[in-house]
Structure 1
Amino acid sequence: MTVRTITLIALIAVLASCTGAPDAGGGGTDWVLRAECSSLSFTTSKTVVTGEQLTSLVEVGRFGGLSSSFSEGDDAVELEVDLGSIDTGVPVRDQRVGEMLFLGEAKARVSVQVSEQLRRAAAGGSAAQRLTLPLELKLGPASLRLEALVSVVRGSDTLALATLEPVPVSVRALDGMAGLEALREVVGLGSIAEAIPVSAQLCYARAD
């Protein structure tokens, strides 16, 4: 379910790559994601059956394993998410999601193509820039195209990016309905929402 999370991060990475002038050294890594000040979270909605009663429940989860680096002037940016780093607060549930929904895949990747329009929009200095970015999320053989509204703030040696509103990702569009139904049956839930809202806050720093 949390797979959609990755999308937001990709957006952020793209903005980062758009902000600087081309690297005079040509092709070296200029920006690296700082995990300690970055986050990727998602919410799940479900109904719990108790006797004849249905209770709605909303829970928050996150991915801790995020990695991304790029050079200024790159035409595309990729964010890698370690699916094994999922944290829903319940270890056995984390394992079930990995086996049933992610089907044992170790990584998910989000990529964004950097256009001239993005480069110009992200070169606005310290003032926050609002952008709507297209991205592609890949999980095994499945892929999904999404859009996210993000805010980008460029410092002299830092780049901060955040989603301005949650991005809903469809489990059905990622061919994950069989896994979602398996999870529902194992836990005995009434239902699990197909759309997972994802939010991200990313911080990049210039590489040493």
Structure 2
Amino acid sequence: MQPGHCRPGLTEVGKMGMWQRLIASTAGLGLLLSAGGAAAQWELDNGNSSLNFISVKNAAVAETHRFDTLVGFVGEDGTVQLAIDLASVDTGIEIRDERMRKMLFETESFSSANVSGKVDPAVLAALEPGTVLTTDLEVTLSLHGVEATVSAPVVVINEASGVLRVITSRPVMVSAASFDLAKGVAALQEVAGLNSISTAVPVTFHLVFKPASAP
């Protein structure tokens, strides 16, 4: 399945509902820009971006999962915003996706995870075409009603075409306990009849930003 593409068999109505949830939870990209007081220099290309996480069950079986729907931008002033539609979680097993929505993320109450941060505008200005930058990006992650600071080690590539790629240089560890998700993990473990499910998961991403459209 390609990044940003819906599961086979998902109807157009289902696709619309998924986008409506994300737009409602983030107030849309336009309002994200207004709230941040920033003009977008790059907008996220959801179809070519990916955000993955790995879970380990029974202390031995590792599985990779993803979120299919992302919205975000990098502003001219260095503002960074990313919204993740939690209902778009894709583990490859529909019943597990549904359990994660209801029992772990509780998407009826917490429809999205939001990442915000700020990059020094001077750093962006120095990103000439062909430049590769390695840095640690400090961001605020809002997930399940909890906010915490997270450090994401990234490689930033400014391609000659104007596309900006932001890729994790190593996984970002996210703890379920830090975001009030430990009970949800325990509930998933019980319903699936597992001996254990990891409560700290490595997250990786490959975000592709295209030059913002002219107003």
TM-score of the aligned structures, taking structure 1 as reference length: 0.77
Tell me the CA shift for residue 140 of structure 1.
3.7
Distance 1:71 1:146, change over 3 A: closer
What are the equivalent positions in structure 2 for 1:107-186 lying under 5 Å apart? 107-115=112-120, 118-119=123-124, 123=127, 125-156=129-160, 157-186=162-191
1:86 to 80, 84, 89: 89
Tell me the CA shift for residue 87 of structure 1.
0.2
Q: Any idea what the Cα deviations from partners look like across 1:21-41, whole Å, max 9, x if unmatched?
A: xxxxx9543311111221111
Q: Which residue number corresponds to residue 210 of structure 2? A: 205
Compare relative contact order (CA 8 Å, sep 6+) and give the higher one, 1 or 2.
Answer: 1
Distance 1:172 1:106, change over 3 A: same
Tell me the CA shift for residue 119 of structure 1.
4.1
Distance 1:145 1:117, change over 3 A: farther
Measure the CA separation in 2 of the matches of 1:28 and 1:118: 17
Tell me the CA shift for residue 111 of structure 1.
0.6
Instruction: Give the conservation status (yes or no) of the 8 Å contact 2:131–2:159.
Output: no
Name the SS for the 1:192 alignment partner. Answer: coil
Q: Any idea what the Cα deviations from partners look like across 1:1-58, whole Å, max 9, x if unmatched?
A: xxxxxxxxxxxxxxxxxxxxxxxxx9543311111221111110010xxxxxxx7211
What is the percentage of aligned positions where both structures have the same residue? 34
| More strand by percentage | 1
1:73 to 70, 74, 77: 77
Measure the CA separation in 2 of the matches of 1:27 and 1:82: 22
Could you say what the CA RMSD is over the residues aligned between the two structures, in angstroms?
2.0
Which 4+ runs in 1 deviate beyond 3 A? 26-29, 115-120
Name the SS for the 2:98 alignment partner. Answer: helix
Distance 1:188 1:118, change over 3 A: farther
Measure the CA separation in 1 of the matches of 2:136 and 2:42: 21
For the pair 1:95 / 2:106, whether they are aligned, the reply is no
Aligned length: 174
For the pair 1:34 / 2:37, whether they are aligned, the reply is no
AA aligned to 2:57 is K
Measure the CA separation in 1 of the matches of 2:90 and 2:56: 16
Any gaps of 5 or more consecutive residues in structure 2?
1-36
Instruction: Give the conservation status (yes or no) of the 8 Å contact 2:130–2:157.
Output: yes
Measure the CA separation in 2 of the matches of 1:187 and 1:140: 22
AA aligned to 2:139 is L
